[in-house]
Structure 1
Amino acid sequence: MESAEYVVVGGGVVGTATAWSLAGRGAEVTLLEANELASGASGGPGRRGVRAGGRDLRELPLARRAQELWPELDTLLGAPTGYQRDGRLSLYDVEIAGTSGWQSLPAKVQAQQAAGVPCEIVDRARLDEMQPGIADEVEFALYTPNDGTADHPATTRAFAKAAVERGATIAEHTGVTRFSPNEDGSVVLHLDGGDRLKATRGVVLAANRSIPRLLLDSAGVTLPMWEKATQVTFVAAPTGFALNHAVGHPRRSLSVKMTDEGSVMLSGGRPGGWDPVTGVGTPDPVVLRTALADLAATLPALSDVDVLAVDNNRADTSTTDLIPVIDTVPGMASVFVGTGWSGHGFALAPAVAEAFTNWALDGERPDSVRPFTFERLGATRPN
C-alpha cells in the first residue's frame, strides 16, 4: 500500500489550493480527483465573484484574508487566474423588512468595516458617475472597492500546476469510495478498483458533492446539505455598453458581470433543474425569464437583449444557514472537511487553504474557521 503524509480528496479550487499550500510548507501531498480537475463546481464558463461585500458576518475574517491573497496569486502560482479587482456595487431601491432594504446600509457598513472590509454608501448622484445606466428607482448602493472577479477553472488549474511544481502528486480519474482511520492517526483511503492509499498524517476532504456520501459510508455521519446548480445566463451587450464594476441587486437576487469576450453574465443564486443522480442540469425557462426581467429592471439598456447561452451544469452544495462546513470529522482529528460552500467557496479558497494547512501542520484550529462546525448543523454523530 502506497502512502503520503497528506491526501487531499477533490480537484476543485479548494482542493488544489490546499495541496499547493501544504506542499509549500514542505508536506508530502497527494491529491485525488475522481474525474478531471475543475470538472465540478470549480469549472464552467464566465467569471466568478471574488467578494467580501454582503458576506455572512461569520465569513468576513476569511473573506478579508482572501482579499489580501488574491492579488498575489498570479505571481505566486506562475500562471494566470484572470483576477481583476474592479469593485462591486450592490444596489438598493426600496426599504423592506430584513437586510435587503436601503435603511440597513449604515449597519452593514459598520459591521464590514469593523471586520476590515472596506466599503461605503454611494448616493444616487455619485452612482450615476460610477456606473451610468442604473434604473432611476435605485436610491443607494453599497460599494466594496476590493471586490473583484476571476476565472474559476483557470484558477483551479493554476493552483494544481503550482502544487505539482512544489512536489505534490495529482492523480485524476481516481475516486475514493470510503476512508478508515487507524489508532495512530493515519487514514486509509479505499479507491475505485480496490487499491488503497495511506495518509500518514491527515486527509483533507474537499470533494464537495461527494462528501455527504463519504461521511455516511466511512464515519456514519449524516450531514444535512443539498445540491443545487445555479443557472447562469449570457446575453449580448449592446454597442457601447460597459460595466465599470460588478453590479448586484440583493432584493432581486441578481449579479451582473462582463465577460472577457464582452458579453454580459447574469447569475445571483437561482437554480435551474438538477438531477443529483446523473449530475446533469437542465435550464429552467421560468428562471431565465425572471433573470432577464430583473436585468431589464436594473439596467434598462439591457432590455430585449439576445440570449447567447444558459448554463447550469455545475452543482454546488448548500447548508441550512448558507455558510460552509470547515471542520474535522467528529472523532477523527486527522480528517478535515470543507464542503457546503453555498456559492462562496471560490472567493474564500485561498484563505481556506491557508487555514487547513496551518491547522493540519500546527495542530491548532485557526480562529477564522471556528464558526463552521458540524455541530451547529445538528449533524448526526456516530454511535
Structure 2
Amino acid sequence: MEFDHIVIGAGVHGSAASYYLAKTGARVLLLERKQIASGASGGVGFRGVRANNRDIRELPLMALAYDLWPDINTELSIDPGYQRLGGLELLDEDDLGDQSLREEIETRIAVQSSFGIPTELLDRAGLDELEPGAASSVAGAIHCPKDGVGDHTQVTRGYAAAAARLGAAVRENEEVVAIAADGDRYAVTMAGGDVHHGAHVLVTANSYSRTLLRESFGLDLPVTRFNPQMTPVRTKSGFTFSHLLSHHSLPFAAKTIGDGQVMLSGGRTGEWDYAADEGHPRDETAQMSVDDAADLFSEFADAQIVMTDASRADSLCVDGIPIIDTVPGNPGVLFSTGWSGHGFAISPAVGTLVARWLTTGEKPRELEPFSLRRFERP
C-alpha cells in the first residue's frame, strides 16, 4: 500500500506527529521496532512539562505547547494524562545573596515572561505558601504557574491510539533497516524484507535515528545516547509535593506520581550495556538522589527507595537542543532527534509543526533554530 507519510518510531514525537497528520486526512503509517512507548517515552513515573530554565530557542515551542496541553486529556481520551500543577525551581541563600547570580535569575525571568512564559521570583514566604517544608537554606524559588507533569506513557499511547482511530496504520514489532529514494517517493525496507512506499518519511526513532540515517543516507548526526535514572521513593510520613520541583544548582527534580510516591531524578544517569543494548541503574545514583532530597526537605531523611530504573535511552545532542530538519538532498525525509532529556514537554508543539511542514512543504519559523545547518562551518 502507498502512504502519504511513513513515520518511523512510536515514541511521543512520532505518535504525536502521526496523530496530527492523520487529522488532515492523510494516509499515515506509524512503525515501531518494539512497542509503543517502549523507549524514552515510556517507563516509570511522570515527566515534567517545563518551560522554566529552557534554552531560549525552545521557548516559542513551549508557548505553543502551553496552549495545547490543557486539551490533551480530552482530545486523546486519557486520564489523568497531563496535570498543570505549576513548577518551582528552588533557590538557596547563595543564589539570591550573590548580586551577579540574582541579576542572572531576574534576567531569565524577564526573558521567559517576554516569550509568553509567566514566571515570577518568590521569596521564602511566597514559597512556603505554595510548597511548605523546605530546609532553612532555601531562600525562595522561581515559579512558573503553567508548568506541570504528564504521564508520558499514557500520552504516547494516547496519541498512537487517536491516530489509529483517524485511520492511521499503527504497527508494532516492525524494525526499519533502510530508507531510500524510489523515483518521486521513498522506499522503507523492513527487517523481514517487506517494503513500504510513501511520499514523505519522518524519522523519530530517538537514539536509533543516528544509526538509521547514517546507514541510509550517510548522514551522521552529532547525537549520542544517555539513560537518565529515575528513583521513586516513599517517606514514612507520606510527605509528597503539590508542584513540579527542581533546584537551581543541584541535580534535583521531583514529581509526585501517586500511591504516596515521589519520583526523584534531575539528570543523573545509569550505566548502558552497549553489547546487550540495555540500561541498568546505579545504586549509588539512587542514594545520591535521596540524599539531595533530604538536604532540601528533611522528610526524605528516612525515605524508602521503592525502585530505581535507568532502562530507557534518550538521545543527547551535542549542544543540548534537538535537531529537526530534512535529510540533505532528500526533502521528503524529515527527522527529529536529540531531545536531550527534555523533549516530552514540547511534543504537542513539535508534532503540530512537523505535521504542518509535511503537509504544506513550508518549514515553520518556530523550527528554524533546530536546523542541521547550525553545525556547518561558517
TM-score by length of 1: 0.94
**Kindly tell me: are residues 312 and 257 of structure 1, through their superposed partners in 2, closer, same or farther at Cα, counting changes over 3 Å?**
same
SS in structure 2 at match of 1:6: strand
How many Å separate the matches in 2 of 1:336 and 1:35? 21
Offset at residue 138 of structure 1 (A): 1.5
Confirm or deny that 1:26 pairs with 2:25.
yes
Which residue number corresponds to residue 110 of structure 2? 110
The alignment partner of 2:116 has SS state of coil
The share of aligned pairs that are identical, in percent, is 40
Quote the residue 1:143 is aligned against.
143
User: How far is the alpha carbon of 1:155 from its aligned partner?
Assistant: 0.6
C-alpha distance in 2, partners of 1:246/1:110?
21
Q: Distance in 2 between matches of 1:377 and 1:87?
A: 35
Q: Which residue, out of 283, 288, 294, partners 1:290?
A: 288
Name segments (4+ residues, structure 1) moved above 4 Å: none
| Secondary structure of residue in 1 paired with 2:219 | coil
Separation in structure 1 between the aligned mates of residue 332 and residue 259 of structure 2, nearest angstrom: 44
Letter in 2 for 1:138: V
**Deviation by residue 1:254-278 (Cα, 9 ceiling, x = unmatched):** 1011112221110111111112342
Q: Output aligned runs, 1:274-289, within 5 Å.
A: 274-289=272-287
| Counterpart in the other structure of 2:127 | 127
Q: 1:63 matched to which residue of 2?
A: 62
Question: Residues 364 and 52 (structure 1 numbering): CA distance in 2 closer, same or farther, change over 3 Å?
Answer: same
Partner of 2:356: 358
Aligned in 2, Cα 1:307/1:130: closer, same or farther, shift over 3 Å?
same
Number of residues of Structure 1 aligned to a counterpart in Structure 2: 375
Alignment-derived partner of residue 214 in structure 1: 212
- The one-letter amino acid paired with 2:287 is R
Distance in 2, Cα, partners of 1:252 & 1:304: 20
| Residue type of the alignment partner of 1:252 | L
Q: What do residues 300-326 of structure 1 show as CA deviations (whole Å, max 9, x unaligned)?
A: 221131111000000101011110011
Deviating more after overlay: 369-378 vs 264-273? 369-378
Q: Is the 8 A contact 1:66 1:347 kept in 2?
A: yes
Q: Which residue of 2 aligns with 1:324?
A: 322
Greater shift in the superposed pair: 154-163 or 295-304: 295-304
Q: Distance in 2 between matches of 1:32 and 1:326?
A: 19
Quick one: distance in 2 between partners of 1:244 and 1:101?
27
Cα shift at 1:211: 0.6
Structure 2: which amino acid aligns with 1:360? L
**What is the distance in 2 between the residues matched to 1:287 and 1:127?**
28
Aligned match of 2:45: 46
Tell me the residue number matched to 1:190. Answer: 189
Question: What is the distance in 2 between the residues matched to 1:113 and 1:288?
Answer: 35
Cα deviation code 1:31-74 (max 9, x no counterpart): 01101111111110111101111111000011111111011011
Instruction: Give TM-score, length-normalised by structure 2.
Output: 0.95
Please list every run of 5 or more consecutive structure 1 residues that lacks an aligned counterpart in the other structure: none
How many Å separate the matches in 2 of 1:103 and 1:303?
Answer: 33
- SS in structure 1 of the partner of residue 51 of structure 2: coil
Indicate the SS of the match to 2:232.
strand
| Structure 1 position 378, deviation (Å) | 4.6
Q: Name the structure 2 match of 1:368.
A: 366
Equivalent in 339, 352, 359 of residue 337 of structure 2 = 339
